[in-house]
Structure 1
Amino acid sequence: MMALGDRDAVSAAGGPERHVPVLLNEVLEWLAPQPGKVVVDGTFGAGGYSRALLARGAKVVGIDRDPDAIAGGQELVREADGDLILVPGQFADLEQHARASGFDGVDGVVLDLGVSSMQLDEAERGFSFLRDGPLDMRMEQAGPSAADVVNELPVRDLIRVIGLLGEEKRATSVAHAIDRARQEKPFEGTLELANLIEKVLGRSPKKAQIHPATRTFQALRIYVNGELHQAAEALGAAERILKPGGRLVLVSFHSLEDRIVKRFLQDRTKTRGGGSRHMPEAEVPPATFEMLTRKAVEAAAGETDVNPRARSAKLRAGRRTEAPARDLDIHEAGVPRLAAFHGLGG
């Protein structure tokens, strides 16, 4: 077993890493890891959650779709001496990854649904409009890139992607400006696209600290990586692999993710089917989870002061019951229907 001493959770997981795990102490509180427990860390990243879970004596199955994260985690695998299994793959497939690692049931699942700050910090990954780099945004570093989407997606579909996934009110203006520009020259770099969006939208004096391209870049990243599909599928997978009493802890960073998480937990913890004096109560399937967090848990001021990424974070948690897992319709769970592009979206 890995020994990290008695440092507090933030110190244990943070160290010299560039990525500071968000809401770490709260994640540990709701997961309640103990020696002998098995936890799936579906978004391994820089290993912040996994390191803290190992320090509490848990065994961890870490999953990440980013080859850089898998390579960077090998030192922690060696330090953990058998208590950490690190798997390249998507967290939507966490059930299969857990079973392939030798666990037919697990005691906890944790997912940090935001993009890693490591990815944002590396200009060559193309996630950020603050640093010039190729317009890429692929977490798995394979498949269609953001440049492919921007340059080839029909304008009507581009409007829906930016409007629905970026919640950009002026998606039509942005998409048509992109369409005009790409007919002259295909987009290649992040700043090239960001500068165009800034010209279209301008800068709001009330929101001077927020770049006008923020929502469009969010939309492209979510679309390229199928993030909402992944999140919804992962919830269903967690429901199937968690043992009775097992805990599901989810940290989301924008309203689209949180809406899916909230809707899933509300549906899976429901014990009554509504009804009225005119209509009988509808039957509902047995609840598959108990709600652990009555409302979303947010970061305290002390954490947001040192880690701005935590400002938008929301944590929700549930505990698995003995009821059988149910089928999940990802669109009913809140995933928008979008046109597919080279295997993306849908």
Structure 2
Amino acid sequence: MRAVLCEAFGAAENLVLKEIDKPVAEEGQVLIRVRAAALNFFDTLIIRNKYQYTPDLPFSPAGEISGEIEAVGAGVDPARIGERVLAYIRWGGAREYVVVNAEEAILMPEAMEFEQSAGLMITYGTTIYALKSRAKLQPGETLAVLGAAGGVGLAAVEIGKLMGARVIACASSDEKLDLCEVHGADLRVNYKLGDLKLALKGLTKGHGVDVVYDPVGGDLAEAALRATGWYGRFLVIGFASGTIPKMPLNLVMLKSVDLLGVFWGEAIVRNPEEHAQNMALIMQWVSEGKLKPHLHQSYPLEDTAKAIAAIQNREVKGKVVITL
């Protein structure tokens, strides 16, 4: 089978396309013929050994996939062969076949295509865990989303609206903010044109935002923290800016703000029941047409390096998918 491999940590252009052995489903596993594999910002890090996980070399990027079950191992109902499924696999998706534990292969929503389904697990899984499980976002609260036009950013805009929040999309261009409005944002801030803190304070009439969703980090993080209100919650999602901020803790103290870490990949291991409930809600919303992942672009397998470079260069609005 064909696979895109990271054989040595480094830049995306060092990835190679090779023929490797097709895996076999062992006891309790299913073999999935991959139809689409979604890429995320962490793929730009994991190939350079700058992510929380360090895979053994060689490995394939892409942590979420969709496809069809082609074979099952011992102990798995053969009736599952032919099911259209999606799965979160941490890494290893940029290849023609993957093997996962049977319970990790989730039925795709019937109305969705493989390209859209491939991007459901990480962005929406992370976001519902952040907003529902960590921040406990309430109807009527104000949610500020940084990097709102990216994959997790758009997911936060959509889910925030479904949870009844007043959503302020914050992004670096009017074009990106237009997309956020299409996906439900109530208000917008172009943080390239002015001070983020002042803009958020102005839109909340001085009260400050209730929840900040921050996948960006860098200088924007402190500005957004300064714009929180009393009992505000600040969600640390990631650091797409490339800079991990050092926050003045007096800001946290003076407004009784909660700084909340969001490490979805570990949370689903420690609390699988909560994860299952959250994903069931996501699938329900998708089936009802309330969530529609925005596909920025699909690339063929051999262009995986170009796709990762586009994410790293911040050229992407929504999701990037590899099709096979």
**TM-score relative to the length of structure 1:** 0.35
**TM-score relative to the length of structure 2:** 0.37
Structure with higher Rg: it is: 1
**Structure that is richer in helix per residue:** 1
**Structure that is richer in strand per residue:** 2
